[in-house]
Chain A
Amino acid sequence: MSALSRREMLQASAATMAAAALPASVTLASAPSQDNITLRLQADPRDYQEVIDAYAGVAPNVSVEPVSVTGIDHAEVATKILASLAAGTPVDIGFAATEATQLYAGEGLAMGMKDRLLDQADDLMEYFSDVSPVLVETDFYEGDLYQLPRDFNAANMWLNTKLLGEAGLELPGEDWTKDDFNEYARALTGLGPEGDSFGFAWNNGLWGGWLPWIFVNGSNLLSEERVGGGEWLWDTFYADDPNAEGRGGGFRWPEPQANNAANVEALEHVVALTRDGHAPSVERGFAENLSGFFAADKIGMYPGGGFFTGFLQDAGMEPGTYDAQFWPRWQSQRHQLGVGALWILIGGSEDAAWDFVKWHTGRDVMEMIGFFRVTRTTPARRSMCTAERFPNVSNWNIFYDTVDARPDTGPIPAPVFSIELTNIFTRYTEVAVSLEQSPQDTLDAMQRELEDLYARNA
């Protein structure tokens, strides 16, 4: 027997310890193979190294290679994944936010999970009992499930409580309205150490841009309908969950309706905020920096989900100077959300990839993921959404309540051609918020381009 080097000994010990820490219920579906398999996993190694090391103890013949893909938004990440596919270097297990879920599924890249889920239902019962059906429904496409939710973010409202105090305001209640919001935006403008704060700021994107205002104004950018099917999942995993009633096999957005009256009204609302000086100019290259200005007491309110907790901690914001609330009510209080999850490439090592993805749903595995340690996104598992995970946020419970207590929360509209849709949406939004064109004219032009987009993809 050859002597083990110190490095090999340490690696073996780490793998053994990690394997020992795994939940006993996790079993691999495919028979252990003697062949060595390499799985290319779309993940940042800084977040996933511990998971990958642990999996080496579970499946020693499977080597997981992280492939880091970054982008300014999820549409750009999806663009890069497609570029890697075109270049012949695809990932076996990809990550998709809602922006790309239907893109991968609809283009026949992602593997439908129905048969495997039904075959191994017992192994996954605990997982689904811990995940809101709102999140699961978002990952459906035409009756099949393509992803198992890992994390999500709904657009809630973050408030700088230091500025609230300076303005003599309390944190708003959960049933606050759009008019209350306008009062807050006015009151929070012109405060802070240099008297130059803005009441509200937002990024130009499909998620968290001005789309939440469209949602609460009782509308959507595209017409929305539920697809039939999906009973196989709801009956198997959510038979006793009232929140699962009436759910189907995913969402469809059959036609654009950008310029309907409610959408024009929503855009007029955000344009007025900029025009009246209550919101700063909306600039694409600057998006990531707004969180820093929130932390520097230059922004009073900012759209964000649970992920913002980590950003504010990193920015050094003091405890007790920030908090979150539901999005204000207008015609409704329907929130928008995006769900993140792993998907499996068809034609790759599907069995091995499925084993990994299924194992990855275990709570102990999810706890190893770096971005759940310092909360940079909201865990899809209810049991992981605790006060400790959202330190210094007294309203931390609203993040999961947005899907548990408000079952009308729905996905951002993201059909198969969502990348192009996002580009059109953000381009025209820029024109309106730079005050160069009226909201009505802007949305009429957006509608024409969306109609062309639908025609091309018919």
Chain B
Amino acid sequence: MASEATLGSGRRNWLPAWLAGDTVQGIRRQRMVLGVLFLLPTLIGLILFVLGPIVVAVAMGFMKWNVFRPPEFVALKNFARLFRHDLVGNSFGNTFVMMAMTVGMLEVFAIALALSVHRFARSRLAYFFRTVWFLPVLLSGVSVAVTLSYMFHTDFGVVNYYLGVLGIDKVPWLVSSDVVRFSVSLATVWRNLGFTFIIYLGGVSALPQEILEAATVDGARGLKRLWLITLPLLSPTILFATVIDVIRLLQFFDEPYVMTRGGPGDSSRTAVMMVYDTAFANLEFGYASSISVVLFLIILAVTGFQFLLSKRWVFYQ
């Protein structure tokens, strides 16, 4: 050991005195510096690609900028304008409605699927179902949206064709303001179900079997067992999945942009579409930034609210 310390000391001659010593403090300092060095690439990445853009976006929210002329400081004018702007309110409203519909469908279908597929956990069918249900997640959102917009076309779409075969009238899937948000949500559920399903499948697989078996012995079966035993045990997973899905879906863009461009009128225009159009079509980058800052704060608040509520219904073992 002594020879190692001597060797080590020799190699560290180039280090400053406060770092080179073989004392306990010296070694702690060396470990700290090493830790910082390992963290540095991540920190630089975070600062450059996450914190930097956030700071710039917030700062831009107080500016008027159209790319062609230098930014001009306008204080809170952008924020005051967005609270008066009907279209912004409408876009946020649509976002919440579509998010609620989509998350609702996602969680219910994904839990149901996970519980069903879990029954085949020991068979090869489990691989088949996991793969099949996850496949849509691997597809490009835009390709899916284009294909589904063809399928949902009122007059030429295959969905209405088969409804017609069943004697059902044509449904204006994408051209009725009453139906369009549901259609877009349905398309989003189809593509994203696999992701949420895999989260729940992991959760269901980790449920303590002894509790479930004890419940069965005690006579809890079917919906009663699901409602009183399985779902409470699954509640941490439900919290995780809903938080992730709510954050993703408050940033709804691909499906409504490709399928409807926000229409008919503004019935399916979402907050992120509003940001995109304001920035790149209207060239109001400052105003667009202020909308995105408000969206960021709303997502933060909704997520915080979810965690706050979770104290009442999430059961940790």
Contacts and interface: CB of A to CB of B under 8 A. Distances in A.
- Asked if A and B bind, the verdict is yes
A412 B176 CA distance: 29
Interface string B248-278: 0000000000111111111000000000010
Given A280-B156, A283-B149, A426 B282 contact: no
B302 to A, nearest CB: 28
Nearest to A282: B175
Contact of B155 (A82, A108, A281, A434): A281
Contacts of A198: 155
B191 interface: no
Given A281-B172, A420-B282, A289 B154 contact: no
A108 B265 contact: no
B281 A283 contact: no
Contacts of A282: 175
Chain B interface helix/strand/loop/mixed: loop
Interface string B138-151: 00000001100110
B281 A420 contact: yes
A201 B305 CA distance: 49
A198 B156 CA distance: 11
Contacts of B67: 82, 85-86
Contact of A107 (B68, B145, B282): B68
Contacts of B150: 285-286, 289
Interface in B260-317: 260-266, 277, 280-283, 285
**A108, A280, A285, A286: residue with the most chain B Cβ atoms closer than 10 Å:** A285
Contact of B175 (A75, A283, A298): A283
B264 A434 contact: yes
A406 interface: no
Contact of A434 (B175, B262, B277): B175
B277 A285 contact: no
B153 interface: yes
A284 to B, nearest CB: 4
Given A108-B68, A427-B266, A280 B176 contact: no
Contacts of A426: 261, 263
Contacts of B258: 285
A83 interface: yes
B174 interface: yes
B177 interface: yes
Given A284-B263, A431-B265, A436-B176, A82 B283 contact: yes
Contacts of A80: 280
Contacts of A283: 149, 153-154, 174-175, 260
Contact of A285 (B68, B149, B281): B149
Contacts of B146: 285
B155 A430 contact: no
A293 B149 CA distance: 15
**A83, A109, A283, A417: residue with the most chain B Cβ atoms closer than 10 Å:** A283
B282 A419 contact: yes
A423 B277 contact: yes
A89 interface: no
B259 A285 contact: yes
Nearest to B68: A107
Contacts of A293: 156
Interface string A265-285: 000000000000000111111
Interface string A281-310: 111111001000100001000000000000
A349 B118 CA distance: 64
Contacts of B265: 427-428, 430-431, 436
Interface in A311-357: none
B266 A286 contact: no
Given A285-B149, A286-B149, A286-B150, A79 B281 contact: yes
Contacts of A85: 67
B172 to A, nearest CB: 7
B255 to A, nearest CB: 10
A370 B232 CA distance: 63
Nearest to A86: B67
Contacts of B263: 284, 426-427, 430-431
Nearest to A196: B155
A79 B154 contact: no
A37 to B, nearest CB: 25
A182 B298 CA distance: 51
A82 B266 contact: no
Contacts of A280: 153-156
A108 B68 CA distance: 8
A428 B258 CA distance: 18
A421 to B, nearest CB: 10
Interface in B167-182: 172, 174-177
Contact of B285 (A75, A86, A286, A427): A86
Contacts of B280: 79-80, 82-83
Interface in A87-133: 107-109
B260 to A, nearest CB: 6
Contacts of A430: 175, 263-265
Contacts of A82: 67, 280, 283
Contacts of A281: 153-155, 172, 175
Nearest to B164: A196
Contacts of A286: 149-150, 153, 156
A233 B115 CA distance: 76
Nearest to B283: A82
B57 to A, nearest CB: 13
Contacts of B262: 427
Interface of B: 67-68, 145-146, 149-150, 153-156, 172, 174-177, 258-266, 277, 280-283, 285
15 contacts: A79-B281, A86-B67, A281-B153, A281-B154, A281-B175, A282-B175, A285-B149, A289-B150, A298-B156, A420-B282, A427-B262, A431-B264, A433-B175, A434-B172, A434-B177
Interface of A: 75, 79-80, 82-83, 85-86, 107-109, 198, 280-286, 289, 293, 298, 417, 419-420, 423, 426-428, 430-431, 433-434, 436
Closest 10 CB pairs of A and B: A285-B149, A280-B155, A281-B154, A430-B264, A431-B265, A430-B263, A434-B175, A284-B261, A434-B264, A79-B280
Given A82-B283, A282-B175, A285-B145, 15 more contacts: A83-B280, A86-B67, A108-B68, A198-B155, A280-B156, A284-B263, A286-B156, A417-B282, A419-B282, A419-B283, A430-B263, A430-B265, A431-B263, A434-B176, A436-B176
